[in-house]
Amino acid sequence: MGHDLLPVVVLISGAGTNLQALIDAAQAGTIPIRIAAVISNRPGAPGLARAERAGIPVHTLDHTAYPDRESFDEALQACIETYDPGLVVLAGFMRILTPGFVEHFAGRMLNIHPSLLPDFRGLRTHERALQAGIREHGASVHFVNNELDGGPVIMQARVPVLADDTPERLTARVQAREYELYPKVVGMFGEGRLKLEDDQVRLDGRPIRAPLDLDTIPDSPREK
Ligand code: NHR
Ligand code: GAR
């Protein structure tokens, strides 16, 4: 116990509150990972200070300094590779990644998306969910592939939409669950329990036939 920590590189663009949840879980020893580095595409992203405070190396690769997406992604890949991570985690990372980059990290790159996928891919999900009048919303963690927000979903957290909701209140309700959801999935990946094989998510070697639900996760085999 406490050994064999999976090196993880986290990509951010903003506040880094999901990064903070991962830092806290790693520091508490509740998930077997080590955050090897944090990289932001936005100079001055508040999440960078969270990493620095935790003693984690940080890098800023400003996408506006690159002539095209391919050259940005090549630089990003080179920076990530210096840490030889077993997992790349997108945590509020706002740049669409090119096919070459995605293929390089296939099966070892996760994203958290603020909706119950496949509903509301893309941006401004909370606003769109309210406009659609749905009763239930949430967040999803998925393996990243070249279908934007369309990679195989691993686990979801559900929240109710309330009658008098505003986008702000709904966002806060979803994000509170994200801070449980993302460390849970990253921890399971770190334990070697999650794999992607032929576009199929496997938990403990068995294909999952639907996304897992944070509130009803099966026990790990050794706990049975
Ligand atoms: N890249 C690939 N290839 N596949 C995915 O599933 C990805 C991805 C990169 C990021 C996160 C995603 C989300 O959870 C993500 C998933 C940014 C945009 C976007 O439109 C869309 C989806 C996501 C992140 N970005 C604009 C762009 O031109 C810039 C928007 C901005 O800077 O505010 O890259 O929602
Ligand atoms: C999170 O709610 C995440 O789900 C969402 O942005 C927020 C990032 O917050 N991600 C996306 O919208 C990806 N396009 P954070 O920087 O405080 O973790």
> DSSP letter string over 67-126?
SSHHHHHHHHHHHHHTT--SEEEESS--SPPPHHHHHHTTTSEEEEESSSTTSS-SS-HH
Give the span between the Cα atoms of 62 and 41, in whole angstroms. 5
Domain that holds residue 159: 2-223
- Per-residue pLDDT tens over the stretch 8-29: 999 999 999 999 999 999 999 9
The residue whose two tokens read 């749905």 is 134
Cα–chain center distance at 205: 22
Edge-to-edge order in the sheet of strand 153-160 = 58-60, 33-40, 6-12, 87-90, 109-113, 136-143, 153-160, 212-213
Give the span between the Cα atoms of 174 and 23, in whole angstroms. 19
Instruction: Report the 10 Å Cβ neighbour count for 11.
Output: 27
- Per-residue pLDDT tens over the stretch 192-205: 999 999 999 999 99
Residue 3 has pLDDT above 80, yes or no: no
Distance 15 CA to ligand 2 centre (A): 8
Global pTM exceeds 0.75? yes
Domain count along the chain: 1
Q: Which residues are catalytic?
A: 113
Residues with CB under 6 A from ligand 1: 90, 93-97, 102, 111, 113, 122-123, 144, 146, 148-149, 151
Distance 221 CA to ligand 1 centre (A): 35
Which atom of ligand 1 has the smallest separation from the CA of 125?
35
Q: From start to end of the chain, where are the E strands?
A: 6-12, 33-40, 58-60, 87-90, 109-113, 136-143, 153-160, 194-197, 200-203, 206-207, 212-213
- Mean pLDDT value across the chain: 96
17 touches ligand 2 (CB under 6 Å): yes
Distance 4 CA to ligand 1 centre (A): 31
Listed range (154-158, 160-164, 194-198, 219-223) with the worst mean pLDDT: 219-223
Ligand 1: residue whose CA is nearest its atom 10: 96
The residue whose two tokens read 């496949």 is 118
Which CATH number belongs to the domain containing residue 149 in this structure? Answer: 3.40.50.170
Predicted pLDDT at 123:
97
Q: Is 62 left (phi over 0), alpha (psi -120 to 50) or beta?
A: beta
